[in-house]
Structure 1
């Protein structure tokens, strides 16, 4: 008997070389239509994230305005202290004016510090609340997406979405908002105050604006390209690293380390080059801004000094001017840093919004049916299905499985056995025809109704981090320990579980590596038994068991399959012989249908398979 039909999976070679495909995908994303769509989606996502906190955001804006107003007032107060507070002292009229100004400066400093503290506390709490909701939303959405999506969307990209992409959004929320608002208020406020203090000095200072505008425009254009390239490069590094580690057994078994290292060095070097380019443009932009600022300050100092010498400008005004100019050029660097953060966050939002806009191939019904008690009657009516367009797996299958019947599916690779199991489990929807459970199309059942009625056990027997009891309870979250133990006893797993260091409370470690393949399979059987579904699907579910273990669960299988509908896919005919009925599939068509005992005597395909199995035992 050959193995069952599986969804096409990439080979090890394809997985290790897949980074090139991701790079091409990144280039595709830069097409105009796609870019526009992604930007619209990311803006919509950002709006959805911020909308519930509008009042808090406005409060934060007010706090920032107060903080910056207090900060901008200090140079002006210094001007008043020099021009209005010192002359009365020199004239012997007392220091009341200067003391008043000093007190106001102190109050401004305290207001600025207090507002800053309140802003940091509230903005930090708001940012983490938004990120908490975003992570939950992305995680929940990934779980709801169909297996077909996860077949093509690699685990490395999933990890990248939930880690590096969320991290850059965190950085934008943490520093970007504050930096942008502060920079804009400083630029506008300082420009107004400069012109108010002295129109001639103010106009001289604003002569630097065209140069600053050209530098900023150049930086914005170059950094948009570079930072997108950086985001794409880091994804390639994460994808290759995660998939190499997940497939480490295959990598070591086939001595793929040199090739993996070659690929990793290549993607890592691309990431390095992208970061170096970002450093280069910053190395040009930052000193250029500072240079323009210093030249402007020198010009103001020279012209202002000459004006002050001739009595056209007071020393206080010139001092305030120089202090404001220092504040004026610093925000331009802050804006550039915010823009870098904003670009990274925009790219991350585009990717996250792209994932969140993915629709499950298996969607919840708009108007779900209200099924009665589950009986387990299955019908496939003219069911058609293709994994790849133009390559049908099931060209039009009709099959009726009465409630309570155990049906075994056998056939060659690609016959459609596992495809039938996935359609009945509704991991996929048929491209044509209908799959019905107790007369109701599966498309009209809610996810909860379907999963309580249909359970599938595969050869993967995935165990989650936790105890053995936790993994059995997975089939029924409300199960008591007594129910868990009873399920294990029925399956035949109780004996080996009891011998574990902590019995049912023994941690199974990563993917159940503490247990043998056969033990993991028995735990999966106990989980399915505890779930007590109306329809149970066993897809190569005994393939991991050795002969003694398989014999151990034959009686348990009969207990599990009794009084429920079951579909059994197995290449071991010892499992198939427990079935009431066997159908032999070939290219999606039923070529034999009958009881195991009857099909053995017909001399057909099943009889030949049975004879070969008996000879292998001998």
Structure 2
């Protein structure tokens, strides 16, 4: 039994390694695509940093020349070698400082260009992805991609890569200079690479999992916070504050614990680097001093060798700090690349068919089957013909499939089998532009964006004139209340339309739909959240809105159903009754019972 468990564990580890390799390749591919447009700037920056680093590294060699050659020459009355070495040392320092400043500015420009590109890609991609993605991928996780994950990458690009490139080049040039200056001292330095390799490898293995977990807990904190604030009404209504505080405290404790593990790793790494550096410097000094006593090594060369050895280990701590930022950024880049790799489940057609002019609005379901998941079939086999200009009301219990029909007509989802046509053209063959022009959905939420009332109505047809916007508002009965607002059509509705009532928001959304002038209009529980006076006001607007167009009304309130030409009663994804409101009320079926219960509730 234990051997089976061991094999399973080994297979799991192999799978994890393979998965990490795939994720790393995907992240590197994304990074490469961000760097590609900046090749010239990167090459120029690389040249600047190479020259500036070489000028920094040359210092100890100049000092060695000044001591071993300049000082003896000065004793002989010749000051030129020593003065020359001082001048060269100062010029190299000044030029190095100027080039470092230029390098810092240039790398900042490159990092900002990459971040802007990445932010725009994430925003455009999350808008492009289908509704299925957004229903599964919570808003908190998307916000985490745009905030904490991008911040991790920003920290890496702004300072981390800058320091890494400088540090690596500095160490490389320092090692080369030491070998050229004194090969034996270089050999002592290379011997220190053995304990360095073991220490860094130990840190890498443990920190990779630690920092990945840190990003996971950071995302969980953001998701929990966003979802709590989004649902704050429900939180306060159900007195969920103590439980949320307890859950959030547990998450912060987990986050603190994982960060404490990361700190403990650095508590071993940094002293370990310092110890190896000090021991190596001491070894170079002792071995060099012995050779100086034997006359095999000049004192200036020994001083330069000690300086080079000490300087070689100085950037180690910066590299360790970079690795911290790198681990966080790598995990963030993996998550962002995952979002960017997603493909819309409702793609644009490769060879679209034009909808053309004179669209009538006839909608047909032909053998449609739909399932959100393999074990959750909503429509087992569905056929429906909606003639052009007909208003259909869908009624039925929750989960009967009413909203699913609406989402399929709006092409938020594609059917698993069968097809849905608009004027005999499969919806999957229509461009999004044609489909969104012909089909408009008004939901219960009646979402308004920050901006003026006019701006929100104009969403129905971008570029519409003020006269057309006001005409649409008058047509649905919204003009009077809009003009009563402080700034009329220029009144800012505030976040999510908080300045206007639910009924007024719904009228604005109707004006938006009227301005769009679609051939097919879908009303998904558009009056469910309204009180009776507001519903009556909206009912009058509906008469105008539904005129001369195909309409699908999903409603639990049967007062809304009365304006329909045809009523479909649905149960478990099937139509169980089909007829005019009057005919169904006069019968003895499901709709008649619903209508009788509704009428009794009014009494």
Rounded to whole Å, the distance in 2 between the matches of 1:610 and 1:529 is 30
Report whether the alignment pairs 1:157 with 2:141.
Answer: yes
Check the 8 A contact 2:503/2:538 in 1, yes or no: no
Check the 8 A contact 1:64/1:178 in 2, yes or no: no
The SS at the match of 2:297 is coil
Q: What does the per-residue CA deviation read over 1:257-298, in whole Å, with 9 as the maximum and x for residues that have no partner?
A: 111111111111111011111111111111111122122222
Tell me the residue number matched to 1:97.
81
- Once structures 1 and 2 are overlaid, which stretch shifts more, 298-307 or 79-88? 298-307
CA RMSD of aligned residues (A): 1.8
Tell me the residue number matched to 1:258.
242
The SS at the match of 2:551 is strand
Rounded to whole Å, the distance in 2 between the matches of 1:29 and 1:603 is 65
- How far 1:575 sits from its partner (Å)? 1.6
Q: TM-score, normalised by structure 2?
A: 0.94
Question: Unaligned 5+ residue runs, structure 1?
Answer: 1-26
The SS at the match of 1:608 is helix
Report whether the alignment pairs 1:318 with 2:318.
Answer: no
Q: What does the per-residue CA deviation read over 1:178-229, in whole Å, with 9 as the maximum and x for residues that have no partner?
A: 2332222222222222122222233233332211121111111111121111
Q: What does the per-residue CA deviation read over 1:522-571, in whole Å, with 9 as the maximum and x for residues that have no partner?
A: 11111111111111000110122222222223232111111111101112
Rounded to whole Å, the distance in 1 between the matches of 2:512 and 2:244 is 38
Rounded to whole Å, the distance in 2 between the matches of 1:231 and 1:289 is 26
Match of 2:369 among 384, 389, 397: 384
- How far 1:310 sits from its partner (Å)? 4.1
Rounded to whole Å, the distance in 2 between the matches of 1:31 and 1:297 is 41
Report whether the alignment pairs 1:197 with 2:181.
Answer: yes
Question: Unaligned 5+ residue runs, structure 2?
Answer: 1-11
The SS at the match of 2:366 is strand
Rounded to whole Å, the distance in 2 between the matches of 1:415 and 1:302 is 86
Tell me the residue number matched to 2:495.
510
- Once structures 1 and 2 are overlaid, which stretch shifts more, 257-266 or 328-337? 328-337
Tell me the residue number matched to 2:232.
248
The SS at the match of 1:386 is strand
Rounded to whole Å, the distance in 1 between the matches of 2:265 and 2:442 is 55
The SS at the match of 1:31 is helix
Tell me the residue number matched to 1:267.
251
Rounded to whole Å, the distance in 2 between the matches of 1:87 and 1:394 is 97
Rounded to whole Å, the distance in 2 between the matches of 1:517 and 1:570 is 17
Tell me the residue number matched to 2:9.
none
Report whether the alignment pairs 1:57 with 2:42.
Answer: yes
The SS at the match of 2:314 is helix
The SS at the match of 2:463 is coil
Rounded to whole Å, the distance in 2 between the matches of 1:375 and 1:233 is 53
Higher RCO (CA 8 Å, separation ≥ 6 residues): 1
Q: TM-score, normalised by structure 1?
A: 0.92
Check the 8 A contact 1:403/1:565 in 2, yes or no: yes
Report whether the alignment pairs 1:470 with 2:455.
Answer: yes
Tell me the residue number matched to 2:8.
none
Report whether the alignment pairs 1:348 with 2:335.
Answer: no
Rounded to whole Å, the distance in 2 between the matches of 1:216 and 1:287 is 12
- How far 1:617 sits from its partner (Å)? 2.4
Tell me the residue number matched to 1:530.
515
Report whether the alignment pairs 1:553 with 2:538.
Answer: yes
Tell me the residue number matched to 2:6.
none
The SS at the match of 2:496 is helix
Match of 1:361 among 321, 341, 345: 345
Tell me the residue number matched to 1:577.
562
